[in-house]
Amino acid sequence: MDGFGVLRRLRADGIDAPALFLTARDSLQDKIAGLTLGGDDYVTKPFSLEEVVARLRVILRRAGKGVEEPRTSRLSFADIELDEDTHEVWKAG
């Protein structure tokens, strides 16, 4: 199942989570399809990691309905944590 199918299923199940397409599919038709299905943004390869992080922050800020969270220089995913200011990375705590 591709990203379009995943998002289609999420939306059909009533899940309105933020969605960003990160893909090599760069045709205008694909971009329009992704956004029409309910994607919040559509980024094609090649991409800048800094741009993707900035776009994710915008999506998450909007999903929080205008509630501004304190800025932190640390990003976390699973058991990995990255400090953007010091460029330090920690795994599993």
- List, for residues 52-84, the tens digit of each pLDDT value: 999 999 999 888 855 455 667 888 877 888 888
Q: Of 23, 55, 24, which is closest to residue 40 (Cα–Cα)?
A: 55
Q: What is the CATH number of the domain that holds 29?
A: 3.40.50.2300
- Looking at the structure of the chain, the number of domains it has is 1
Residue 72 lies in a domain: no
pLDDT recorded at residue 52: 93
Amino acid at 10: L
| 86 falls within a domain | no
Strand (E) or helix (H) holding 59: helix 49-63
**pLDDT tens-digit readout, 5-52:** 999 999 999 999 999 999 999 999 999 999 999 999 999 999 999 999
pLDDT at 67: 47
53 in any annotated domain: yes
Domain that holds residue 22: 3-67
Within-domain flag for 49: yes
Beta-sheet pairing, 41-44 with 20-23: parallel
**In-domain check, residue 80:** no
For residue 92, is it within any domain?
A: no
pLDDT of res. 80:
81
Asked if 73 and 83 count as a contact pair (C-beta separation under 8 A), the reply is: yes
**pLDDT at site 38:** 96
The per-residue pLDDT for 93 is 56
